[in-house]
Amino acid sequence: MTSLTDRDIESIAHGVMERTLPKAAWTHEAHFAAAIWMIARHGDEAFAMMPGLIRAYNEATNTPNTDTGGYHETITQASLRAARAVLREMEGAALSAVLDALMRREFGRSGWLLAYWCKETLFSVTARRAWVEPDVQAMPFA
């Protein structure tokens, strides 16, 4: 169960946007917190906004965006799709409740994407640079 409040979630999102979030705070849960906040505030426009925000944040925290590290397009877009699905399912709920529900599901485990992509595909340069469709099974949300 997440202990983050709606205010914490907003703070994480602003920290990413302003590139002030401490690097140690940019956890798996924080990625989803930022995604939930961005989708709640910007709708599907968040899908186009997040890549630039994450790349800029990475650069500000001395995390190079390369073919082997930093920003990953397929992981980002898949995570945004998962966040959007739970937000839609829980329409009107507090963001902290949405994050809690999301983290209690398969998405709360760091390896959840391997149910949809084989490791070689997911961690390929192609998947890091651009969206790659799942090659193990379709995601339950589009």
Residue type, 28: H
Delimit the domains of the chain by residue range: 6-129
Q: With 90 as the cut, is the pLDDT of residue 3 above it? A: no
State the Rg of the chain over Cα.
14
Share of the chain above pLDDT 70, in %: 98
Query: What is the pLDDT, as a whole number, of residue 141?
Result: 85
Share of the chain above pLDDT 90, in %: 94
Question: Quick check: 1 pLDDT over 70?
Answer: no
On the question of pLDDT at 39 being above 70, the answer is yes
Q: Report pLDDT digits (tens) over 107-121.
A: 999 899 999 999 999
Task: Give the up-direction half-sphere exposure of residue 29: CA atoms within 13 A in the CB hemisphere.
Answer: 17
Residue 142 has pLDDT above 80, yes or no: no
